A = this chain, B = another copy of it.
């Protein structure tokens, strides 16, 4: 690790963002058709290493089903609008109208009001049922502080993968007011595999792996206009966070005698190139939000917002309008049309990146040579 002394009293590691990274072609090239993007976690196999984040502007039951059919995985937020309202589509459409006429702040205020309506257990059951009926993998997300209150409803409704996702989640939450959730015990008692995060360092990732999680989400905050770094000063550039978690994965593989915990990268991943770089840094899969919120048929209906916007006294981010880039299907599997920006055909971009640099599987691509560009 490159350590620098930022001053006489303090050292810091040097960290790298994905924007600093470039993938180096190897001495081989391949046909794109020979490249496999397949990924497995627990009993579930996916054609694409692409997970849609549990954010209301990104993932609805409908978009999760569509993404599942394209080969990816959509995660529905159990504390989102779909479990609070019968027809959240109407409310979301109203947000876009407000945003258009009265501005982002008014839309954000309306949004915050919408989330004051309670989560309804029968809607949890209904929404997850819709996913199951469609034949896709059923994944649902909770914030750690709501696991105790809501997980029973999720489990009762039936779920294939449980996602516990907060700004920064640790294996050891401390509280003087209430008995904190013991993640290890909770996960140990579940039959369902758990994906947990965000985390952003070797030791946090390792401790989360030791809870028995099937995967960890790497990255603090979200990519939907989230302002976690401004508001909290907390954050680790993503290339380093991914590589550290990949290091923890290797360590845990060794100490557990062979348990492989998946690393899912989550940050401001927008283009096929971003996906390729995240995997070349060591990720098994990527969690995407803004890139999918920009679909013409995205649940956000022309708007996007991070779930962090809900914090009552410390909101991070706001409702913001989105310029549509294409349909969900185009964004995920192309074709790229005439824009040529990398925002469409994420899977194609990743596949061609691997072919161009000579790698046939995601596992091999995780070991790709990379360079970081010196700033000038």
In the complex, A289 has a CB within 8 A of chain B? no
Whether A356 and B232, one on each chain, are in contact in the complex, defined by CB atoms closer than 8 angstroms, is yes
Chain B residues in 8 Å Cβ range of A60 = none
Chain B residues in 8 Å Cβ range of A348 = 313-314
Whether A313 and B340, one on each chain, are in contact in the complex, defined by CB atoms closer than 8 angstroms, is no
Whether A273 and B231, one on each chain, are in contact in the complex, defined by CB atoms closer than 8 angstroms, is yes
Stretch from A76-84, A156-164, A201-209 at the B interface: A201-209
Query: Quick one: closest B residue to A242, CB to CB?
Result: B7
Whether A173 and B8, one on each chain, are in contact in the complex, defined by CB atoms closer than 8 angstroms, is no
Whether A204 and B19, one on each chain, are in contact in the complex, defined by CB atoms closer than 8 angstroms, is no
Q: How many copies of this chain?
A: 4
Whether B317 and A28, one on each chain, are in contact in the complex, defined by CB atoms closer than 8 angstroms, is no
Whether B200 and A237, one on each chain, are in contact in the complex, defined by CB atoms closer than 8 angstroms, is no
Chain B residues in 8 Å Cβ range of A229 = 22, 273
- Residues 257-285 (chain A) with a chain B CB within 8 angstroms: 271-277, 280-282
Query: Quick one: closest B residue to A370, CB to CB?
Result: B12
Chain B residues in 8 Å Cβ range of A245 = 7, 9
In the complex, A42 has a CB within 8 A of chain B? no
In the complex, A176 has a CB within 8 A of chain B? yes
Instruction: Contacts A231-B342, A232-B353, A273-B230 given; indicate if A204 touches B27 (C-beta within 8 A).
Output: yes
- Residues 210-237 (chain A) with a chain B CB within 8 angstroms: 220, 227, 229-237
In the complex, A309 has a CB within 8 A of chain B? yes
Chain A, residues 172-205, CB within 8 Å of chain B (1/0): the string is 1111110000000000000000000001111110
Chain A, residues 12-52, CB within 8 Å of chain B (1/0): the string is 11111101111111111111011000000000000000000
What are 7 A-B pairs with beta-carbon distances under 8 A?
Answer: A7-B282, A10-B246, A26-B203, A29-B173, A317-B340, A372-B376, A375-B375
List 16 extra interface pairs beyond A27-B172, A234-B357, CB under 8 A.
A2-B5, A5-B243, A6-B239, A6-B281, A7-B239, A7-B241, A8-B246, A10-B243, A14-B373, A16-B374, A17-B376, A20-B375, A22-B229, A29-B144, A105-B339, A112-B338
A contact set with B: CB distance below 8 Å: 1-2, 4-10, 12-17, 19-31, 33-34, 105, 108-109, 112, 144, 167-177, 199-204, 206-207, 220, 227, 229-237, 239-250, 271-277, 280-282, 308-309, 311-318, 334-342, 345, 348-349, 352-353, 356-358, 360, 369-376
